[in-house]
Chains A and B, each alone.
Chain A
C-alpha cells in the first residue's frame, strides 16, 4: 500500500515536472537561471553557516528555518519537489560574491535589504521574509535595563560583515558614548568571548541575539534590551538581470504570506479549491492563469502551500516552537497588527 502511494507521488511529481517543462518553455526561454535549474533538477540556495530559526542544519544534514523555506518554496514551484534544494553555507563575507559569480541562484541568508546593496553590487532584493532590528544583549546581573544606562568604556562584541558595525557606531556616536568594538569573523567566537566576559554587551540583529542566546552556558542569565537601534528588513536576494527568476522567487515568498492571510495552509489547501473566494481559488490554482505568467504550471502555488506551508506555519515551526522568538512582533500579518503586507496574487 505504502509502496503504491510512493510510486503514485513520484509519478505525480514527474508529471508535474514535465508539465513545468512544456508550459514553462516561453518564459523559461527568457530566463537562463530557470532553464539551468530545471536542467540540473535542483535549486542552488545560499544560506547561513548555522543560525537557528533561519537556516540551520541538524546532525543528519537536514536544513530548516524560515530562510530555508523560501528556497524550498521555489523548488516546489519550479521543480515540483520542495526537497530538491542544494544548500551552500556561506559566511557574511562570501555571500554576495557567491551569488554574483553564479555559484548559487538564490541567497536566502538573513540579509538586510539596503539601497547600496540593491543598487551597487549586481544584486536584486525580492522581498522581506523577516523584519528585524539591531539590539543589545547584556548580563541580567549587570544592572543595565536600557541602552540609556550605557557609559563610556563599554566593550561591545559583534561579528563581521553585516551592517552591525555601522549601526553600532551610529548609535554610540549619537549618545556620545566612547566604546570598544570587538569584531569577530564568525558568530560562534562572539558567543564564546561574550560568554567568557570579554564584553559587556553583545550586539547584532535581535533575531540573531535570540538564536545565539540559546548557545550561551546559562541563557537565563542574559537578557535582550528592549530598544531596537536599526531597521533590518531581511529577505532573499537574486542576481540582477534575470527578471523572470526574480519574479518567481518574489512570488513564491508572497504566496506563502498571502496564503496565511486567506487562511490557506498545508492541511486544507486541496479543499480550498472549491472555496467561494476567488482570491483563494487563484492562490490554489483553481482559477486564473497565474502560473503561466511566471513560466510555470498553474499548480505552482498549491505545491508551495502543500509542501512548505504558509508563512505562519513556517514561522511557528522554525522560530516560535523552537523558543527563539515566540512573539511574532512586526512579523505578524497587517490584518493582525503586524507589518507583513504583500501585493495581491492576481
Chain B
C-alpha cells in the first residue's frame, strides 16, 4: 500500500500540473479575448467563403463554405505530399544505390547531388525552381508541343484528358484484376511451401491486369476519347489553353523542389541500410546457391529495409510538413487557402490555426502509424 502511494504521487502531481498549466492558458486566452471583444467559435466554417482557388481536386468556388475551402487545401497538401514522397523515394533509392556503385563517376555524381541539394535551404530551392521555371518556360503561344499533345508553358503543363463512357465498368475490371492477383499470389505461396514448385506470378499478374480491363472495353461498353488542349487567344498578346488538364507551374515546381531535397536524405538512409548488412550474409547466401538477384531480394533487402524504414519515415513526415512552404509560390495548399485567405477574411486566428495544426498532426500521425506497421511487418520475427 505504502509502496503504491509513493509510486503514484509524483505521477498524479505531474498530471495535475499539466492540467493546471493548460487550464491557465485556456482561461487566460478566454479572458483576454473577451476583454478585446473577440468572439470565439467554429460557426464560420459553414459560412460562404467568397473566394476562388486556382487549383482544386474537388469542385470549389466562392459560393462553397469555408469548410470546403479547408478540404480543398487539405487535398492539395496531400496531393503534393504524395507526389513528393513517391518521387523522393524513387530518386532516393536510385541515388542511394548509385552512392555504392564501384563506378567512380556514378558514385561521385551521386555524392555531389546529395551534398549540393541537402545543404541549401528548401525555401530557396522552391524559389529557384519556380522562378527558374517561369524564366525558362515559353509563353503559351510560343510553346512547342511535345508528342503533339503536351504543352509545357509558363501558365502550366497542359496535358490531354480522357473523356470516359462507362468509366465504372473499367474501374470494376481493375478491382477484379487486383483481387485475382492476390488470390494467385496466395496460391503460389502455398504451392511453393507444400510442393516446392514456383509459379510465374509476375507474368500471370501482368496478364490479368491487361486482359480484364480489355474485356471491359469489348464486353462492358467502356470507351474513352481524348481531349487535346487547344490554344486560345484572349487578347493581342494574352493566350491560354482550353480543354485537357492544366497542371499549374506552382505544383510542378513545388513537387520538384520537395522531392529533390528530400531524396538526398532518403539516399543516405538507403546507403546506410545496404551498408549495414553484414558481408558474411551475402557470402552465405551465395554459397547456398542463390542467384545475385535472389541474394538482393531475399537476403540483403529484407535486412536493409529494417535499417532504412525508421529514418525514412522521418523524411516522409518532413516532406509533408515542408509542403506548407507552398504559400510562398502560390500553390493553394492548406496553409495558403485556409490559414491564409480564410484566416484573413474571417479573422479567426485561434480557431483556424488550431484546426491547421491538428490537421498536420493527424497527417503526420497517419504516416507514422502506416510506416510503423510496415516496419513491424518486415522486422525480425523471433521464433
Contacts and interface: CB of A to CB of B under 8 A. Distances in A.
Interface of A: 92-93, 96-97, 100, 116-117, 120-122, 139, 141-144, 149-155, 157, 160-163, 165-166, 168-170, 173, 179-186, 189, 192-193, 196-198, 200, 239-241
B237 A141 contact: yes
24 contacts: A116-B347, A120-B38, A120-B347, A143-B236, A143-B237, A143-B238, A144-B235, A153-B234, A154-B234, A157-B330, A160-B327, A161-B341, A165-B52, A166-B51, A168-B52, A182-B248, A182-B250, A183-B330, A184-B327, A185-B340, A196-B131, A196-B134, A239-B36, A240-B37
A318 B160 CA distance: 51
A200 B38 CA distance: 39
Contacts of A183: 54, 330, 332, 336, 340-341
A37 B311 CA distance: 52
A168 B53 CA distance: 12
Nearest to B249: A198
B236 A197 contact: no
B329 interface: yes
A122 B38 CA distance: 5
Given A152-B234, A161-B340, A185-B328, 7 more contacts: A142-B236, A144-B235, A149-B235, A154-B240, A169-B50, A170-B50, A198-B134
A93 B344 contact: yes
B276 interface: no
A241 B37 contact: yes
Q: Sort chain B's interface into a size bin.
A: 35 or more
B35 interface: yes
Contacts of A189: 328-330
B278 interface: no
A189 B330 CA distance: 9
Contacts of A141: 236-237
A170 B50 CA distance: 8
Interface in B30-54: 33, 35-39, 50-54
B343 interface: yes
B232 interface: yes
B328 A165 contact: no
B349 interface: yes
Contacts of B238: 142-144, 154, 200
Contact of A153 (B131, B139, B240, B349): B240
A143 B235 CA distance: 6
Given A122-B38, A189-B328, A189-B329, A196 B154 contact: yes
B328 A122 contact: no
Contacts of B235: 142-144, 149, 151, 200
Contacts of B232: 153
Contacts of A155: 155, 240
Nearest to A173: B62
A186 B52 CA distance: 18
Nearest to A239: B36
Contacts of B53: 181
A160 B50 CA distance: 14
Which one of B33, B38, B154, B344 has the greatest number of beta carbons of chain A within 10 Å?
B344
Contacts of A173: 62
A173 B50 CA distance: 11
A90 to B, nearest CB: 13
A200 B234 contact: yes
A341 to B, nearest CB: 29
Contacts of B330: 157, 182-185, 189, 193
Given A92-B344, A166-B50, A197-B139, A185 B234 contact: no
> Can you list the 8 inter-chain pairs with the closest CB atoms, starting with the nearest?
A143-B236, A122-B36, A121-B347, A196-B134, A161-B344, A165-B51, A153-B240, A185-B327
Interface string B327-363: 1111010001000110111010100000000000000
Nearest to A149: B235
Contacts of A166: 50-51, 62, 345
Interface string B210-251: 000000000000000000000010111110101000001110
A97 B345 CA distance: 13
A144 B234 CA distance: 10
Contacts of B345: 163, 165-166
Contact of B54 (A93, A116, A180): A180
Contacts of B197: none
Nearest to A121: B347
A142 B36 CA distance: 49
Contacts of B344: 92-93, 160-162
Interface string B121-135: 000000000010011
Contacts of B50: 166, 169-170
A6 B283 CA distance: 88
Interface in B57-97: 61-62
Contacts of A170: 50
B378 to A, nearest CB: 41
A180 B332 CA distance: 12
Contacts of B249: 198
B240 A117 contact: no
A247 B131 CA distance: 47
Given A160-B327, A189-B328, A193-B134, A241 B35 contact: yes
B234 A151 contact: yes
A92 B134 CA distance: 26
A122 B37 contact: yes
B170 to A, nearest CB: 30
A240 B327 contact: no
Given A196-B134, A241-B37, A153 B328 contact: no
